[in-house]
């Protein structure tokens, strides 16, 4: 059985009002839902930074007579 099966219409309405109020967060004068993500300002990355993050600007190494050398 569901939770709503045990309540009458008046109790369900009251429960929904409480749920609606508690599901919000007040930031300053505006009210936002809790589950809405807060957006950060977009960070502009240069091409070099993007390549570094992806790992394309990494040194490559090779084994030469047992030692590891940079290629």
Between the CA of residue 50 and those of 14, 37, 58, what are the distances in Å? Answer: 52, 25, 12
Rg (CA), the chain: 28
Say what percent of the chain tops pLDDT 90: 3
pLDDT of residue 22: 66
Those residues with Cβ within 8 angstroms of residue 53's Cβ, 6 or more apart along the chain or in another chain: 45
The whole-angstrom separation of Cα 19 and Cα 10 is: 14
CB 67 within 8 A of CB 60: no
User: pLDDT, tens digit, for every residue of 37-71?
Assistant: 677 778 888 999 889 888 887 888 899 998 988 88
pTM strictly above 0.75: no
């Amino acid at each position: 059985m569901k939770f709503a099966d045990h309540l009458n219409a008046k109790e369900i309405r009251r429960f929904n009002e409480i749920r609606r109020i508690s599901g919000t967060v007040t930031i300053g004068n505006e009210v936002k839902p809790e589950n809405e993500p807060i957006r950060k300002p977009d960070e502009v990355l240069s091409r070099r930074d993007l390549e570094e993050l992806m790992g394309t600007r990494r040194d490559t190494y090779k084994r030469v007579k047992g030692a590891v050398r940079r290629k």
